[in-house]
Every structure is written in structure tokens, then in C-alpha cells.
Structure 1
Amino acid sequence: MTDNMRGLDLIRDVNVSLTVELGRASMMLKDVLELGEDAIVPLDRQVDELLDVYVNGKAIAKGEVVTEGGRFALRIVEMAGEKRTEETA
């Protein structure tokens, strides 16, 4: 076993926060205060764009929403630093 693998074994049980960002919106506070049930807030992401995946605030991947067993799930499509090619897109 390499030293890197032994080092990773020491931290494998550390809890981290995984966040998936659907999109963002910039609004005036007065508009936020007027939000209510059935309000629609347009986001900056297109329907066919991949979602950003963060671990403790650091971008690590891009993915897409899928359903599994009646729940939302995430399919990782691209890891940070990797670029999709037309063949895999």
C-alpha cells in the first residue's frame, strides 16, 4: 500500500457536506420579501445544463438529476478538471 493510500485511509470516515446547486438568482430584497406560495424565481441555469456539485464549498464535479426509487438522485457526469468530449456528451 502506498503512503498516499494510507493517508487517505486516515480520513475516509470524516463527514463532509455535499451540495448540488440547481442555479442562482440575484434579486432585490423587496422582491424576496414579496415571495409567497406559488412564486416562481427564474434561475441562471438552462434546463439542459449540468448541475454543480460541491464538497464543503469546493466544486468537485458536474452532474444531472435522476430519479431512483421515488427520490431525486444525482448522476455524476464530469469530475472537476476533466472535460467532456463530443463522443461522451
Structure 2
Amino acid sequence: MPTYDVIINATGIDLPSVDDPIIGFTTSRRIKAPDEQEAIKAAKTAIAIEWRDGGYQARNRASAPHVDIEGIVPLSLWKRLTTKAPKRGFTFYTLPE
């Protein structure tokens, strides 16, 4: 089964932080799926579960994240064997100054 790296950007959130409120995040997920559409669906599901179970949903003062797929990369066997992808986690960002 093919493996894909799905690169995601999410906006429309409002998480409190020490400095400025967090308004979005980027992340990627490595997904095994029969095709790109199924990989995207699985990545979105994984993000939604982590958002809920990680406590972010409860702290969010805005709507659920609006998820955009920034890219999807099919991986060769060599790339799958020689690289690692995060299984969880987000890189949050605030409004630019």
C-alpha cells in the first residue's frame, strides 16, 4: 500500500498563550492509504482526534480548525525507510507583527 506525507495548515482557531493568541498551526502526517484522497481523509481524522484528545478543543475560543492540505507527497520505499515523520504534534503560530 502506498505511503504519503500529508502537509496540513489549519486556521480559524484562538488558543490563549503567554504572548499573542495562537491563530493556526501546521503539521504533517505520514499515512498509508490506497490513494491520495484516502490519505487526506485519514490525516484529517488523525488531526481531529488529536485536537480533541489533546485538550486543544476545550481551550479553543473560536471555531474548530479550518484544515487546508498544503501538499501531499507519495513516498518511495527508500524515503519511507530513511526518514521519520511525526505521529502527533502541531507547530502553532500567532498573528504576524
User: TM-score band (shorter)?
Assistant: under 0.3
TM-score by length of 1: 0.22
The structure richer in helix per residue is 2
Task: Kindly indicate whether structure 1 or structure 2 has the higher relative contact order, using CA contacts under 8 Å at least 6 residues apart.
Answer: 2
